[in-house]
Every structure is written in structure tokens, then in C-alpha cells.
A and B are shown apart, each in its own frame.
Chain A
Amino acid sequence: MTDGGDGNGWAGDIAERVRTVPPSGIRKFFELAEEQEDVISLGVGEPDFSAPWSAREAGIDSLERGRTSYTANRGKRELREEIARDYRRFELDYSPEDEIIVTTGVSEGVDLAFRALFDPGDTVAVVQPAYVSYVPGVTFAGAEPLPVPTHAEDDFKLTYDALADAGAEDADGLIYCYPNNPTGAVMERDELEEIAEFCRENDLTVLADEVYADLTYDGNHASIAALDGMRERTIVFNGFSKAYAMTGTRLGYALGPSEAINAMNRVHQYTMLSAPTTAQYMAIDALRRCRDDVEEMRKAYNRRRNLVLSRLEDIGMDCFEAKGAFYVFPEVPDGASDDEFAEVLLEEEEVAAVPGSVFGEGGEGHLRMSYATGTDELKEAMDRIERFVERNY
């Protein structure tokens, strides 16, 4: 990447807020992994299943019928109604009329919120380890990211103290993702209570990324927006990428009070116009007919999760019991560097796992291992890691 004007074909400048954001640490790892032939990757942040056939078929059908025009800015009314109905599972009621917006992936929704709800100079607390887009997203919107590290000893849950220690009382917003990527941590309802208290006391706007809500393995997902005094200060994000294995269709949605959703829609209507139409038809079918598929996938992930956690325990890699998403986040043995462990593991045993430090503060000394991979491959990967740890640690 060049900054422009140096004779490499671009005469203009690159904006400072873009230039100063480093490329994702994932990228370097991706390039290393691509060089290997027989790599088993535990580095993939998306399901190994395909979207349920019924949803795919609905997409095909919509194309056959020539449904290729724009939709309403906020998304098809039918889809918003299905989303509203579906979210009542989490004790939340949003009006399809003006409290729901369908976006091009959760990523777009989060970006809309950053741009529509915060001013330059505002501070957004980012719970870390975090999905790699949050910090750059805050920066692109002109606001200031404030890292809020979580720790292995708390099973990577967010606590009142973690927020206070990071100085989040002066922040304007808070963004987190639970069930969490990269740690697999979940927040139970009673654990969310103290976060809600902090946010009410300090008047924080909460952006709750719940894209892994359906992939919760022990008890039910709880949404912070359902707690007292939180609906009016929370935007909830979810989508079809993870639970419905539809990452490539790029469809998500945001839920919140109309004033906030209207503001997000203002940015959306001028930048995206509407989310992809074919994807919206798929999503309607997914919500109507594919709940069983989601449950089957959830059960399959859970079995793999159990397998991986049990193998890691035997190998002697400390790992808290990750109860959500499709990641485990074990500690690198002997206090070694996660970056080095991951690189040598890839080189010697051709297993790719992502160094935890890529995901921000609190992630160092850990590895993100995704179990969104077939059971046979997972077994083989665990055999290789066992061999590697025995040999080197």
C-alpha cells in the first residue's frame, strides 16, 4: 500500500483516518496459511455448512421470478415482520414499521450506528478481544475507540470493574459482541445486569452485536436491551451469517428505538440504498422455515465444541469453557507468545489458528480456534497440536 503521489499510479492522497489504520492482523496470517499445502484451518470465522437448501431455493425462486429490483430502504416489509416475530424469543418487541433496518451484513449495521450516533471526538468503548472491525469502524466515523480489555480469569466476560478500570464512564458508547468472537464467551442475564447499570449510570449508548445469539450451548441467549431502562439506549445487531450459514449473502439487521433507526436509515439510504434483494428473499424463508436447520447445526457445533475442549484439556492447554459462537480461546502453554506459537504450529504441523493478540487487548497469550470445521479434520488438527505441544513445550 502506498500513500499516493509517489509515482505508483495514484496521484491523489489517501485520507489520514484510513492511512493510519493498520491492515488487519488476520491478513498476515491468511497469507502465511495460503502458502501451505495441506493446512487444516482452525482460523475460519464462518460456518462450514452451506445455507439451508430451503433458503437457497427461495433465492433461486426470487431470481426466476425476476425479483431483482431495489427494496424499501429499510428492507422488505415481510422480512422486517419476520425479524420482529423472531426477536420476541429474546423478550424484545420492535415495530417492523420504524424500529428495524435490514443491512448488508451486521458489518454495515454497525458502521451505520458509528456514523449516525456518534460525533467526531466522541468516545466509543470497545470490549476486547473483539471482532477486528470495531476499532477501525469507530475511527473511520471520526470517533475515538477506547479499548476495554476482558480477561481469562473472568472467562472473558465483561464486568462492571473492567468498564471502570478502562475509564469507560466518560465514553459516549459501548460496543461488544456476545456470544463473543474470538473467545466464545457468553454473558448470562444476571451478568448483563451490572453492565446495564454501568451504562445507565454513565449514559452510554450500547451497540450489542448478537450475531452469534443462536449459537449458545448452555442455556438461552440474553439480550441487554431486554433489561430495565436499556431498550431506549441500545441498538441490537443480528443477521443470517452465522446461525443460518449465510455469510456470503451479506444480510444483517439492526433493532432499536425509531429515532436511532431513522438516523441510521438516513446514512443507509444515501450509501447502500437497500440490502441485496435476493438475500432478503432468502432471509424471509430462513426465518419461516429453517429453524430446524439452525438447531441441527447448533447441535453439531456443540458436539465439536465438547470434542475440542476435552482434547485441549488432555493436551494440557488451559481453556475456559467457551459457551457460544464457534470458537475456543485456549492459552498458549508456558506463557509463550501467541504469535510465535501460531506461526511455528502452522510451519511444523500445518494447523492454522489465529493469534489472540490480533483481536486486541486481553487476547495476547491466547489462540482463537474455530470449530466450524468437519469432525474428522478437527480430530486430525487436535492430534497435530498434541504432537506439537509435546515436542516443543
Chain B
Amino acid sequence: MSMAANPITQPPIPPVAEREDYLNKEYGIWSWLLTTDHKRIALLYLLSITFFFFIGGFFALLIRLELLTPVGDLVQADSYNKIFTMHGMVMVFFFLIPSIPAVLGNFLVPLMIGAKDLAFPRINLLSWYLYIIGGALMMHCMLTGGVDTGWTFYAPFSTSFTNTNIVEAGLAIFVAGFSSILTGLNFVVTIHRMRAPGMTWSRLPLFIWAHYATSIIQLLGTPVIAVTIVLVAAERALHLGIFDPKLGGDPLLFQHLFWFYSHPAVYIMILPSMGVVTEIIACFSRKRIFGYHFVAFSSIAIAVFGFLVWAHHMFVAGISVYSALIFSFLSYAVALPSAIKVFNWTATLYKGSIHYDAPMLYAFGFLGLFTIGGLTGLFLSALGIDVHVTDTYFVVAHFHYIMVGGAVMGYLGGIHFWWPKISGRLYPEGWARLAALIVFIGFNLTFFPQFLLGYMGMPRRYYDYSHMPEFQVLNVMSTAGATILGVGYLLPMVYLLWSMRYGKPASDNPWNAAGLEWKTTSPPPTFNFEEEPVVTWEAYNYEELDAPQKQEVPVAR
């Protein structure tokens, strides 16, 4: 059932003379590279993170090809170490962390709260340049040999043993980290200080709440990994011995500092995705979100609890049994706000008028995959099971269900949902639904077998499993799934690009969605609103939005 056949769809607006918007206001490369418009910066980010997504995807492809056969026949052990390291670093630091905040957040935060721009437009542009400088360093590092420590940089291997270019990779992540900090800073100040009259905290879209929580993590977590990288670089350059036990240092301290950022970093990836899914589910169920305040505060709760669970990455690393118990308990606790969200989304769907458009298909995909990823996270926070499956494919499958199944599904859903607003064009609905389906099938085929592999004992980061050839069947399934998944990711890129030129012009509000961003034109003008909006309604007022159309339905009396 498409929106076109639906009674809630508004009549298409007649084509008007070329209207000035943020896309056609200025032309030329400098109008983009020197822009301070949050919408243009969002598009700059969109291009750059898509580039890094395909770089990281290329490494993923190499990993899956190597694991197609039990013997190590495609690459050698050292190359394999570098491949999975570069896959992780590129995907985590240069795709997942900036993905939704820097693209959709940048585009939508000012629009959703009724502001003309983010509070600090030039800092916003600076953050993109920092990202690009970090990305260029990372590319240079990759092209000149890469790094083989795994994305986690564990000491003392990273500080004293590996002869790969740790310092450059560290610098790349350090610089990109400041880009992330500045984005978070901009969001927090914007949400506090730039809301339109009447846009109270309890009228904010939950997308904004999710980004607020994300920003807190970016602000308080990222500096810690920055200083950790400084220490690793200093130790490598000067043989200081801060983390090397041979010199009196403590490698566990490195892990504590690393995971103090890198565990909350998972919530930097998943929280914005939850925000996107909340918007989509409310719109395509035509209902106010169930338990608005619970969903809003569960975002904050996830951000807070997220800072208190980091040592569950270190259960087998030698922390004391008592701290392991506490971190295990806290890891269970963080499941509560996540579950609150899932239950509230489900309750929103209940008796909703559900439309199966492409964004909603991605949101459904998110619901299922995030739930599996979250529940297997509970397996892992149980100490006994964690000891059994540490460093196996079970862990790999778990975090891919969260990061790819959760974060990327939300990202793609959001890109489709707001594409009419971003580009002013409609994407081809049929192709989009097909792509959503392909991604869902490909994803599960890739990663579900890895749960089984891990539970049976296949360790991660091995390039050769010829002593256990019985694992091949599941690995072949996984590689086949990755191929399907690759098609599912390429497809949207093709038809979204196509739609920018050939897509049908979008009306201001093609989904008849609530939210200020739909009350301006598609695409919006440079300063977002013709006149400053004044908010007099609650968020997600779908009952009100649909009420006039309901009255038009003829009723036999």
C-alpha cells in the first residue's frame, strides 16, 4: 500500500516557478566549501561518510572473501590483521559515529526546533574540516601500510611491539574526535538556546532528545579517548612505560580509558538511530508516540548508564571478580531504558494505521535486529556466558546487530524519510522497498550464522580455520549474505542519486508528518523558515493532522 493510494495524502502541489532554496541559492565549489549553512554542511558530511562507508565496506568484503575457505589463501596473516583493523577503524570513527548526528542531525536539529541555523555555524563548518583532515590522515595511513592492532589499539602491543603506523592512525582519530566534540557542543547549545517560541522541552521531537543524549556522550566521552591516544603516541615515541607492564605501566589502565569512551561510543551510534526510528514509527502508524516522556528520558538514561558499564569489555582481562559483578549488573541495568523504548514503539504500533513505506520497512528492520542485538548483549553481560564466548564470532555478531542492524538501518530509514526534504524530490518507492528487503535478508544471512559460529567456538580475528573445517558451511552463508547486503547498500545510492535529477518533485510534507521540518518548503530556504515559527501544538499530533481527512470520508447514515 503506497502513500499515493492513501486518503491522508495531500493533493500534489502544482509546479511553481523556480523557488529559491538552500540548494539553488548559490552555485560553485566555494559556495559549498565555505558554507556555514547547516543543511549544506550536512550534505558535505553525507558525501564524505558515504565515501568512507564504501572504503570500510571494501575491507569487509576482503574479510568475508578470505573466510570463504578454511585455509588462508587470499591474504597472509599480517595483511588480514590490517584488513580487519582498517575495517573497524574506518567504520567506527569515520562512518558510524558521524553518520546520523553529522548528516541527519545537522540537517534536522535546527529545522525541528524552529531555528535558522545551529548556534555556531562556523564551528559546524570547522568540524567538517576536522573530519576531512582526520579522514585524509587515515587514508594516508592506510595507503602507506595501515595498522594491525585491531581498532581497539590494545597496549602493550600498540605501544611497544607492532611496527605499523600507530601514531598516524591515532592522530587521525584524535582529529576526527574533535570534529565529533564540536558537533555535540553545537547541538547542546542549539537545543538549549535556539528553540522557537512555544517549543518547550516536552514538545521537542524525540529525535532531538536522542541527539541531546548523544551529544552528552560525545562531549564527555571523546576527550578521554583523545588523551588516551596522546598517551599511547607519547609512549610509542619516547618509550615512557605508561601502559607497558615491562616498564612498570598497567595495560589494564589503557583498557579502562579506552572503553570509557568506546563503550559509550556505541550509544553515539545507536541513540540517534533510535531517534530516527521514533519519528518514522509515529508517522507511519499515524499516532502520537506512546509514553513520550519515557522515551525521552530513556535516551538520557542510556547516556548516563552508558558511562557506567565499560568494564564489561574486560571480564577476562584480569579485573577483580567484585568489579566484574558490579559491571555485569550495570550492563543489565542499561537494558532497561533500551527495553522501555522497544516496548513504547510496539505500543505505538498497536492499533495504529500502519503504512508499509520504505522508511517504515527500515524501522521494522531496526526493531527486530536491535532487539536481537540487545538481547544477545544480555547474554554477554552474564559473566559465565561472556567467559565462554569472549573473542568469538558471537561477540562480532552481537555488535554488528547493534551497529549495522541497528544504527545503519536507522540511518537508511532516516535518509529515505527525510529525502524529500533534503533533495526536494521523491525517491522511487518500489525500488526503496526492494532495497530495504534486500538489506534485511542480506544482513541476517551475514550475521546470524556468526552467532552460531561463535557459540560453537570460532574465534574472531583468525584468517585461517583449516583445523576446524566444519565451520565452513556457516562461513559460506555469511559471505553470501555479505554479497547480498552489498547489493542492498549500493541500490539506494543509485536510485537516490537518480532521483535528485529525475525524481518527482516533493511537496512540502509528502508524508503528512508532524514536526516543524515539514512546515517549511522542500527543500527549505537557507534560513529554514520564511517567518519564525510559533509552536502551539504538542509533538506527534497525528490525531489532529488526520482529523480533517477523516471527516471528508463519506459516511452512510
Do they bind each other?
A: no
